[in-house]
Structure 1
Amino acid sequence: MKNRYVIIASALFLSVAGFAQKKELTAAEKALKEGKSNEAITILTGAESLIANDADKAQFLFLKGNAYFDLIKKNVDTEKNLQIAAKTYQDLIEVEKASGKIKYSTQAANSIFGVKGRLINSAIEDTKVNKNAEGAQKLYEAYLLEKKDTINLYYAASTYVGAKEYDKALKLYEELKKLNFSGKATYYYAVSKVNGKEDVYNTAAERDKMIKLGTHEKPRSESVPSKRGEIYKNITLIYVSKGQIDEAKKAVSEARIANPDDASLILTEANLYLETKDMVTYQKLITQVLEKNPNDVSLVFNLGVINANAKNYVDAEKYYKRAIEIDPKYVNAYINLAAMKLEDEKAIIDKMNKLGTSAEDTKKYNALKKKREDLFKSTIPYLEKAVELDPANKDVSKTLLNVYSALEMMPQYKALKAKMK
């Protein structure tokens, strides 16, 4: 009889607790409808310990997320509240996913979309002021809100690399690898007649519909290549930076098995062996790359970059010039050729500055001066072509101006200066 009394008392306690939490949730909902977000948050904070089942927990998280999102829209402590709202909506999605009953996640869809957009915009602003770690975290939270948008996971990983937080970047890259993310896509653009801004669409049909409705004009498309090679390259380089060479080799080997036709992965593996000074394997892999795509200008150019980074300047120049043969308008090859040659200038200047005024030193000085002038002259054809192909590139134009000035080529200097105004 005593045990039976305990059971009845426990049941009574649960029903009272359930009634109390329902009452609190109703009060919070009422406060939220009246625009009293802080009051709603206070009520919910007090009720949190009373939440006993998934249905009520989902409602609790729905109301809490909406309360914090309302504060964000009112510009109240935006950064802090954005993080709380994002985490709350993430928890809501997980709770309903686990229970198999999707109700409040659907109702919160617009708010979730709004928080996601604000997270991405805030992350962009963070990266502009070198707050890469903060930006990466926000991009990751945006991904967690809507996991089908795997591009946000990719950008989060890349931004962590920019922050030099390699362990966090590696974790996200490994997640991208499991998802077999490529990032290859085609985006469709059209300019709004209302505000003159370019809007992006996921399909040509969506974009063309807006054109037919007359709200947009100037349609264009943009193809984005696969990012898989870059992902595996960064995984490999992170392992190399940690001194984990075997893990790096394993990662790139697995990538090639999974994606045998991706030439960029062969390039990544080649770069690894170049980093580890295994020139025999490196040359073998480079041969494979060129056999697969002998006229792929981007591939050949990247071979130039890899060799330049490894200070193999003879091979780098060979690949840059080959890229120009394949595509005479490939501006980056001209720029990199000139930049690579100009790297030698500092060493020449350092030697010149160390010389004295003796007859022998004067002779050496003049020889170095001639060498510097010849170096500058060798860059002129590449810089002039780069300026011709990309006149909007101010850095290249400034470099060419400096070369003209150093060689006292004043007519050319003045002509280029006039074009830059």
Structure 2
Amino acid sequence: MKSKYVLLASALLISVATFAQKDQIKAAEKAIKAGKSQEAATILMEAESLMSTASETEKAQFFFVKGNALLDLANKKVSADKNLELATAAYQNLIEVEKATGKSKYTSQAQTSLKDIKFNLINSAIADSKVDKHAESAKKLYDAYLLDKKDTINLYYAASTYVNAKEYSKALEMYENLKKLNYSGKGKSYFAINKLTSGEDFFDNVKERDLSVKIGTHEKPRNEDVASKRGEIYKNMALILVENGKTEEAKKAISEARMANPDDNSLVLTEANLYLETKDFETYKKLIGEVLAKNPNDADLTFNLGVISGTAGNMAEAEKYYSRAIEIKPDYINAYINLAALKLDGEKVIIDEMNKLGTSTKDMKRYDELKIKRDNIFKSVIPSLKKAYELDTANVDVAKTLLNVYSALEMTAESKALKAKMQ
């Protein structure tokens, strides 16, 4: 008889606990509706210890309300990073519980909230990058990827941002993941002007963009081709491996990438650049010859060869490639800009020598010789800079460089005319 009372007392305790759980969840919901999310979070924290005896339905409701409270706090900038992380965990726990029970009362709403969290993470990552908090930015981008693994571009951005943070081991780990996924990033980007802000908005897909245009919130839709990012991915992998003394691994990684993607020229350029870095000039020339033989009239490829040669300090080769890119595509603005920059780089050596000269007759004679040499460099870049400015009159850097050249050569009339155009 006594044992019956014990069992009855235990049942009563469980019942009381169940009522307490329900009351606390309801109280938390009420607090959220009243805009008191911090109060709701506190109530739920106190209820957490009772969840072990709760039913699966109550657990799902608890996690849902908890996620809502924490997300609201994050949106109000209250410990935003931490609360976003906790809200994510709560929603994921909810989805797990409902998946196990076969019921999905809150799952759909939780998934919508997880999408909001994803975009919050991305926006917060962008803000962190702007103030050079690259490690924090990279983690948020990776967390955004984990929330939606179909959106692999966030994994790519996370890897690139870890490079900026100089956390190369983490970057390499993510690049390895991108390699396994055979990620290229090649495709299209979709944009349209927001009528309310007059700014251009980016859309994840053409369907979403076209719908916004159709309902009238956006106008002037445009598409933009996105080039393959494989070359950059394998280039960064190679540089990290080389930095770690693993040159052979770097060569193997790029070789494997080329076999998997034989038509991706960016990978050939990356491999060529690696052999250039390791001073294997014969293999470098062989690879460059291979690329040019397949694509003799590819302006972008030829321009990239100019960049590689310039980076390696081979100015004559770089000038040849930039000039060839212009020959193939006469409106190739970046080729004109790089060609001018390449020539202007030669000015520094001259200036350094001029500054070291004294006032002796010999030094003054040498000074005059160097000045003529410097003036000739300035004269040689005028055609490239003029053409670049003609192609893009909004390019302030080109205009300023051209003004400086005119000033150095005392070309007053040309300087005044350019200033008038810039106003």
Answer whether TM exceeds 0.5 for this pair.
yes
Per the alignment, do residues 320 and 100 of structure 1 end up closer, same or farther by CA in structure 2, a change over 3 Å counting? farther
| In 2, Cα distance between equivalents of 1:310 and 1:180 | 29
| In 2, Cα distance between equivalents of 1:162 and 1:103 | 43
Task: Tell whether the 8 Å contact from 2:137 to 2:161 is kept in structure 1 after alignment.
Answer: yes
Q: Aligned match of 1:348 in 350, 357, 369?
A: 350
How much does 1:408 deviate?
0.8
| In 2, Cα distance between equivalents of 1:150 and 1:220 | 23
Give the secondary structure class of the aligned counterpart of 1:118. helix
Q: How does 1:125-274 map to 2 (within 5 A)?
A: 125-274=127-276
How much does 1:354 deviate?
1.1
Q: Deviations over 1:272-324 (max 9, x none)?
A: 11111111111111122112222221111111111111101111111111111
Seq. identity, %: 63
| In 2, Cα distance between equivalents of 1:324 and 1:45 | 66
| In 1, Cα distance between equivalents of 2:282 and 2:37 | 66
Letter in 1 for 2:142: Y
Letter in 2 for 1:41: A
| In 2, Cα distance between equivalents of 1:63 and 1:242 | 48
Q: Which residue of 1 aligns with 2:339?
A: 337
Letter in 1 for 2:47: A
How much does 1:363 deviate?
1.6
Q: How does 1:371-386 map to 2 (within 5 A)?
A: 371-386=373-388
| In 1, Cα distance between equivalents of 2:340 and 2:87 | 50
Per the alignment, do residues 128 and 270 of structure 1 end up closer, same or farther by CA in structure 2, a change over 3 Å counting? same
Q: How many residues align?
A: 415
Q: Which residue of 1 aligns with 2:361?
A: 359
Deviates more, 1:263-272 or 1:229-238: 229-238
5+ long unaligned stretches in structure 2 = none
Deviates more, 1:277-286 or 1:218-227: 218-227
Per the alignment, do residues 141 and 90 of structure 1 end up closer, same or farther by CA in structure 2, a change over 3 Å counting? farther
Per the alignment, do residues 255 and 319 of structure 1 end up closer, same or farther by CA in structure 2, a change over 3 Å counting? same
Q: Deviations over 1:176-207 (max 9, x none)?
A: 22222221222333334454343444554554
Q: Which residue of 2 aligns with 1:42?
A: 42
Task: Tell whether the 8 Å contact from 2:331 to 2:391 is kept in structure 1 after alignment.
Answer: yes
| In 2, Cα distance between equivalents of 1:305 and 1:234 | 16
Q: Aligned match of 1:407 in 397, 406, 409?
A: 409
1:387 and 2:392 aligned: no
Q: Which residue of 2 aligns with 1:417?
A: 419
How much does 1:70 deviate?
1.3
How much does 1:361 deviate?
1.4
Deviates more, 1:171-180 or 1:400-409: 171-180
Q: Which residue of 2 aligns with 1:109?
A: 111
Letter in 2 for 1:398: K
Q: Which residue of 1 aligns with 2:68?
A: 66
Task: Tell whether the 8 Å contact from 1:90 to 1:144 is kept in structure 2 after alignment.
Answer: no
5+ long unaligned stretches in structure 1 = none
| In 2, Cα distance between equivalents of 1:15 and 1:171 | 48
1:32 and 2:40 aligned: no
Q: TM-score w.r.t. structure 2 length?
A: 0.88
Letter in 1 for 2:235: K
| In 2, Cα distance between equivalents of 1:328 and 1:289 | 21
Per the alignment, do residues 104 and 228 of structure 1 end up closer, same or farther by CA in structure 2, a change over 3 Å counting? farther
| In 1, Cα distance between equivalents of 2:289 and 2:125 | 41
Task: Tell whether the 8 Å contact from 2:378 to 2:405 is kept in structure 1 after alignment.
Answer: yes
Task: Tell whether the 8 Å contact from 1:120 to 1:138 is kept in structure 2 after alignment.
Answer: yes
Q: Aligned match of 1:370 in 369, 372, 395?
A: 372
Deviates more, 1:96-105 or 1:44-53: 96-105
How much does 1:46 deviate?
2.8
Q: TM-score w.r.t. structure 1 length?
A: 0.88
Per the alignment, do residues 362 and 33 of structure 1 end up closer, same or farther by CA in structure 2, a change over 3 Å counting? same
Deviates more, 1:288-297 or 1:274-283: 288-297
Task: Tell whether the 8 Å contact from 1:271 to 1:282 is kept in structure 2 after alignment.
Answer: yes
Q: Which residue of 1 aligns with 2:286?
A: 284
| In 1, Cα distance between equivalents of 2:189 and 2:302 | 26
| In 1, Cα distance between equivalents of 2:222 and 2:345 | 39
| In 2, Cα distance between equivalents of 1:349 and 1:97 | 71
Give the secondary structure class of the aligned counterpart of 1:108. helix
| In 2, Cα distance between equivalents of 1:367 and 1:418 | 34
Q: Which residue of 2 aligns with 1:76?
A: 78
Per the alignment, do residues 306 and 101 of structure 1 end up closer, same or farther by CA in structure 2, a change over 3 Å counting? farther
| In 2, Cα distance between equivalents of 1:326 and 1:29 | 67
| In 2, Cα distance between equivalents of 1:99 and 1:261 | 49
| In 2, Cα distance between equivalents of 1:212 and 1:197 | 18
| In 1, Cα distance between equivalents of 2:154 and 2:331 | 33
Give the secondary structure class of the aligned counterpart of 2:190. strand
| In 2, Cα distance between equivalents of 1:17 and 1:179 | 52
Deviates more, 1:51-60 or 1:186-195: 51-60
